[in-house]
Amino acid sequence: MFALWDVDAAALHAPELHAVLAAAGVVRLQLNTDDEHVAAAMRIPTGPAPIAAVVSVWVPSVEAASLVTAALAAVTGTLAGWEVEERRPIEPPETWDGSRLDGLANIAILRRPDELDVEEWRNRWLVDHTPVAIETQATFGYLQNVVVAPVTAMPDDVAPVAALVEELFPAEAMTDMHAFYGSGGDDVELTDRITRLMASVARIGADRGLDLVPTSRHLYELSDRT
């Protein structure tokens, strides 16, 4: 998975780039772009500029990552990439034809706080926090990507990343908190859900050092372009 800070979404959808990625060994491509469709959604950047896109690629070997990095570097000024292990607590609806998913795809980039070792942090996140996040939000897709290792050098102002989480919400969630939390218009229920979620978020340190990127989600099958 790659975070790109300054990129035109149109460049990521270009057939020319897809051909280069396919030649590099990319079988499937996922584009998450902060574009006009999600302009009303909330953003949380940690650096001097917000992340503009997250690109996910499925490749037969980690060695192909250097070719993918070079291809993406040609369309952006700043990027960072990671090999990840994917978990799918809620399977999302997926069509690999490049069409835009109807909804909001939030990507949260998590950093492990210094006071928690890796084992404790992952247990709190994957075991304790996951069911709370699912119970308190109106997600119809939930994917967790545990960072295994970086595949690029990190930009100077980017702190080490531990995981990237993607949560899919109905489009109304961009402007309606009840739609985001699934509280059905009940203000008491909304308050309860927010309180529970924020307490759990604080236990994994995601109340600080977090990048939250609202995106449009597009999936491409590239295996037939090689």
DSSP string, 33-66: E--GGGTTS--B-SSSS---EEEEEE-SSGGGHH
Predicted local distance difference test score (pLDDT) of residue 224: 59
Look at residue 226 and tell me whether its pLDDT is greater than 60: no
31 CA to centre of own chain: 10
Residue extents of the structural domains in the chain? 2-225
Query: Does residue 173 contact residue 104 with C-beta atoms inside 8 Å?
Result: yes
Tell me the three state secondary structure of residue 114: coil
Average pLDDT over residues 93-105: 97
Look at residue 47 and tell me whether its pLDDT is greater than 90: no
**Class (C level, CATH) for 2-225:** alpha beta
Per the prediction, the chain carries an average pLDDT of 95
Average pLDDT over residues 37-54: 94
For residue 220, the surrounding DSSP H or E stretch is strand 211-221
Q: Where residue 151 falls among pLDDT bands split at 50, 70, 90?
A: very high
**73 Cβ neighbours under 8 A, 6+ residues apart:** 79
Look at residue 48 and tell me whether its pLDDT is greater than 80: no
Predicted local distance difference test score (pLDDT) of residue 225: 56
Q: Where residue 49 falls among pLDDT bands split at 50, 70, 90?
A: confident
19-34 per-position pLDDT tens digit? 999 999 999 999 999 9
